Amino acid sequence: MKKRILTGITIALMLTSILVFAACSFSVGQPVAIYNTQQTVSSYSSVNDSNVTELVATVGLSTTYEVTSYIQYKYTIVQSSWGGYTEHEVTNSTASKATAFAINEDGYLITNAHVICLENSSQYNNLSYVSRSVYINLADSSVQLPCDIIAYDETLDLALIKVRESGTTYDGTSYELKDFAYSVFFKHDDPTAENATVKLNYGEFAVAMGNANGYGMSVTTGVVSAPLRIFEELDGTLTKAIQTDATINPGNSGGPLFNAYCAVIGVNSFKIVEDDTENMGYAIPTYVVLDFIESLKDGTYDKQTTMNAQGTAYQETVSVSYYYTTERAYSSTGANVTKVN
């Protein structure tokens, strides 16, 4: 039996404490300066180097974050009673582990919408969010920084969040963000577009990064199995995705799928589980992600499906920049990269 599953991982609240190595030490009462400078390697344009995976990981791990979402929600249940039915309000909470990646130096990040929303939310009557707290941390670090939810669209399964420039970490330590490394998008075209010029290739190298199974950051490699797959949802919505055989597991949601040159070609989202099927993972293509970002900037987003942190209709615009390249080459100086304000 075939089953499409989202790749976030929900965990019980009592299991959200994970043993990791601290990235820095703290002095009581003194704000901590958080430096996350871009890790770079020498420029290259050939993928014949046997160390290409390590090169991509060196750059990508400094821009990819483990995400922990704490969600408190309420809904109503209907129970039969003498003389009819009565409604009761239920309040509950959950936590999940997933992934996000930074898109600029201001601390904006992209992740999946289902990372910050309740799984199977449509099954709850009168669902509303009481509170949602989102924290990020780098690989092998216990320093969890708070993020704000800017906007999300569950139909696209995309969300824009932003790390706070200063405040307190999850454990209550004051901090100030001094440096924030970011990823660069590989701006490829929708292959169904008439004027498509920059395309993904069947079989080109792919690297998936994410918080697999909530155990911490991991790196897996594979290829672009297919540049485009189209899935039709029950409501008729068409979802475009990149198929890859790079291993994608629960917890990888929202993480980047890189090409061989450290540029993001997609956002890891879901995989197909079937009795006789292996290694069929899917990522949201960059052109869908960039359209989502641009729509939040100019106000052309879907007013019915785009939500704010409170879970109500998003009605604003946001000034957010991002970086992209159309070249299959990596430059530590960013010479082949364009910034969009």
- Is the pLDDT confidence value at 71 over 90? yes
In a domain, residue 256? The reply is: yes
In a domain, residue 107? The reply is: yes
Pairing state between β 306-307 and 158-163: unpaired
In a domain, residue 249? The reply is: yes
In a domain, residue 26? The reply is: no
Mean pLDDT value across residues 304-310: 96
In the block, tokens 């697999």 appear at: 212
Under a CB-based contact definition with an 8 Å cutoff, are residues 203 and 244 in contact? no
In a domain, residue 331? The reply is: no
Alpha-carbon span 110 to 264, nearest angstrom: 11
Q: Which CATH number fits the domain that encloses residue 257?
A: 2.40.10.120
Q: Name residue 135's beta-bridge partners.
A: 68, 146
Residues in CB range of 67: below 8 A, 6 or more apart: 97, 98, 99, 100, 111, 115, 134, 135, 136, 211, 254
The number of domains in the chain is 1
Mean pLDDT value across residues 247-269: 95
For residue range 195-207, list pLDDT tens digits in order: 999 999 999 999 9
Alpha-carbon span 89 to 75, nearest angstrom: 6
- Is the pLDDT confidence value at 100 over 90? yes
Alpha-carbon span 313 to 251, nearest angstrom: 27
pLDDT of residue 23: 30
What phi and psi, each to the nearest 5 degrees, are found at residue 209? -120, 140
Alpha-carbon span 307 to 97, nearest angstrom: 21
Under a CB-based contact definition with an 8 Å cutoff, are residues 70 and 105 in contact? no
- Is the pLDDT confidence value at 29 over 50? no
In a domain, residue 103? The reply is: yes
- Is the pLDDT confidence value at 174 over 50? yes
What phi and psi, each to the nearest 5 degrees, are found at residue 43? -65, 145
pLDDT of residue 238: 85
In a domain, residue 247? The reply is: yes
Alpha-carbon span 281 to 247, nearest angstrom: 7
- Under the banding of pLDDT at 50, 70 and 90, the label for residue 148 is very high
Q: Give me 186's structure tokens.
A: 């590989």
Alpha-carbon span 14 to 104, nearest angstrom: 34
Q: What is the DSSP code string of 275-302?
A: TT----EEEEEHHHHHHHHHHHHHT-S-
Q: Give me 168's structure tokens.
A: 């307190």
Determine the structural domain holding residue 65 and report its residue range. Answer: 3-12+32-79+87-326
In a domain, residue 159? The reply is: yes
